[in-house]
């Protein structure tokens, strides 16, 4: 797994991180998770509470449903705050292309449910990514010899497990890992849907393509590449998130604070936050210490940190 995948799992376990869900296809909901008085709920764009804080954790809405935590278990609510899939899971991913990856226990088997909460693909994988562009990357086998392959929405393999690491397709390319020198030395590259490697494995870490670029790690620092593998923003960041709505959250190595850059690598919102997530509907969640709020695309607070 990449560091980001590990972070997603850890975030879902501790239920406190607002990075716990993937940064994938957004929809216009006008609802944003908020933490108040020890519970999570949702506010609208004016910061008015529309779903009262009553959850132990709450994620963003994807395809009309959002993951919430109640008493250490995860389920799904609709935009009215109604529980539509009971909290029965130790891990619950966002809905993508009508399905969501879930696991009753994160150390057990992973499968996919539909929006009724019924299994569309029975739990059988050691790890599973979300569906994207009709396929999902899945892992089988023991941790020290695991292999990744791709399934379609019937659960049938489109390509048999054979990769050291693989993630689902985004913008026509998928991350694959290749073991280099020893079991723990993995380099990452990208392949297309003909299973051809189009960007050779040479990165220490790699993230999905968004808005034509992807964050990669070179020499312990993150930068961004285009779809030819050319570096378009030089590696100089400790953390680099996906581009969304033209901006990407990054954390500098020198100052340790997060800000937002544009596609030229120039700061649009100067580094000032301890944590920063991607933009959605013109707003982004940011954290300062233990407080969290929302900013607009010029860095002005829409919801003050609480």
Q: Is residue 78 assigned to a domain? A: yes
Query: What per-residue confidence (pLDDT) applies to 27?
Result: 60
Does residue 306 have a pLDDT over 90? no
Q: Please report which confidence band the pLDDT of residue 15 belongs to, taking 50, 70 and 90 as the band edges.
A: very low
Instruction: Give the whole-number percent of the chain exceeding pLDDT 70.
Output: 89
Q: Is residue 12 assigned to a domain? A: yes
Q: Is residue 145 assigned to a domain? A: yes
Query: What per-residue confidence (pLDDT) applies to 184?
Result: 61
In terms of residue numbers, what domain contains 150?
Answer: 3-242
pLDDT tens-digit series, residues 110-136: 999 999 999 999 999 999 999 999 999
Mean pLDDT of 37-51: 94
Give the DSSP H/E element, type plus range, for residue 29.
Answer: none
The DSSP secondary-structure symbol of 19 reads: T
Q: Please report which confidence band the pLDDT of residue 20 belongs to, taking 50, 70 and 90 as the band edges.
A: very low
Q: Alpha-carbon distance 174 to 191, whole Å?
A: 5
295: Cβ–Cβ under 8 A, 6 or more apart, which residues? 269, 283, 284, 286, 301, 302
Does residue 2 have a pLDDT over 90? no
Does residue 14 have a pLDDT over 90? no
Q: Is residue 275 assigned to a domain? A: no
pLDDT tens-digit series, residues 77-110: 999 999 999 999 999 999 999 999 999 998 899 9
Write down the residue that tokens 């390509």 correspond to.
159
Query: What per-residue confidence (pLDDT) applies to 29?
Result: 74
Q: Half-sphere exposure of 78 toward its Cβ, with a 13 Å CA cutoff?
A: 7
pTM: 0.86
Q: Is residue 294 assigned to a domain? A: no
Q: Half-sphere exposure of 221 toward its Cβ, with a 13 Å CA cutoff?
A: 12
Strand bridging mode 197-203 / 291-295: unpaired
Q: Is residue 76 assigned to a domain? A: yes
The mean predicted confidence, pLDDT, of the chain is 89
Give the DSSP H/E element, type plus range, for residue 4.
Answer: helix 3-14
Q: Which two tokens stand for residue 100?
A: 């969501």
Query: What per-residue confidence (pLDDT) applies to 182?
Result: 54
Q: Which two tokens stand for residue 249?
A: 């959250």
Task: With beta carbons less than 8 A apart as the criterion, state whether 40 and 68 touch.
Answer: yes
Task: With beta carbons less than 8 A apart as the criterion, state whether 125 and 110 touch.
Answer: yes
Does residue 21 have a pLDDT over 90? no
Q: Alpha-carbon distance 178 to 158, whole Å?
A: 20
The DSSP secondary-structure symbol of 266 reads: -
Q: Is residue 269 assigned to a domain? A: no
The DSSP secondary-structure symbol of 283 reads: B
pLDDT tens-digit series, residues 194-204: 999 999 999 99
Q: Is residue 305 assigned to a domain? A: no
CATH code, domain with 66: 2.130.10
Instruction: Give the whole-number percent of the chain exceeding pLDDT 90.
Output: 81
**Exposed/middle/buried for residue 31 (C-beta within 10 Å: 0-12, 13-18, 19+):** buried
Mean pLDDT of 1-11: 35
Q: Which two tokens stand for residue 1?
A: 């797994």
Tally of domains within the chain: 1
Tell me which residue of 98, 40, 47 sits closest to 69, measured CA to CA: 40
């Amino acid at each position: 797994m990449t560091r980001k995948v590990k972070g997603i799992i850890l975030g879902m376990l501790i239920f406190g991180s607002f990075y716990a869900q993937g940064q994938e296809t957004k929809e216009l909901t006008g609802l944003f998770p908020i933490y108040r008085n020890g519970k999570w709920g949702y506010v609208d764009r004016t910061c008015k509470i529309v779903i009262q804080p009553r959850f132990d954790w709450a994620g963003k809405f994807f395809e009309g449903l959002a993951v919430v935590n109640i008493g250490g278990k995860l389920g799904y609510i609709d935009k009215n705050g109604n529980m539509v899939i009971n909290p029965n899971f130790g891990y619950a991913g966002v809905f993508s292309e009508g399905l969501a990856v879930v696991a009753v226990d994160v150390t057990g088997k992973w499968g996919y449910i539909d929006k009724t909460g019924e299994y569309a693909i029975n739990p059988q994988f050691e790890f599973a990514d979300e569906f994207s562009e009709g396929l999902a990357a899945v892992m089988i086998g023991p941790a020290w010899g695991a292999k990744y392959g791709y399934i379609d929405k019937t659960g049938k393999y489109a390509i048999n497990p054979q990769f050291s690491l693989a993630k689902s397709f985004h913008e026509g390319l998928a991350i694959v890992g290749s073991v280099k020198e020893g079991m723990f030395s993995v380099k990452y590259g990208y392949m297309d849907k003909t299973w051809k490697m189009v960007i050779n494995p040479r990165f220490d870490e790699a993230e999905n393509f968004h808005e034509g670029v992807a964050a990669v790690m070179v020499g312990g620092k993150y930068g961004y590449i285009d779809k030819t593998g050319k570096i378009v923003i030089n590696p100089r960041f400790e953390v680099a998130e996906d581009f969304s709505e033209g901006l990407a959250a990054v954390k500098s190595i020198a100052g340790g604070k997060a800000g937002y850059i544009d596609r030229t690598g120039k700061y649009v919102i100067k580094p000032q936050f301890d944590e920063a997530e991607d933009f959605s509907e013109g707003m982004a969640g940011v954290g300062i210490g233990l407080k969290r709020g929302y900013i607009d695309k010029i860095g002005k607070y829409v919801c003050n940190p609480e």
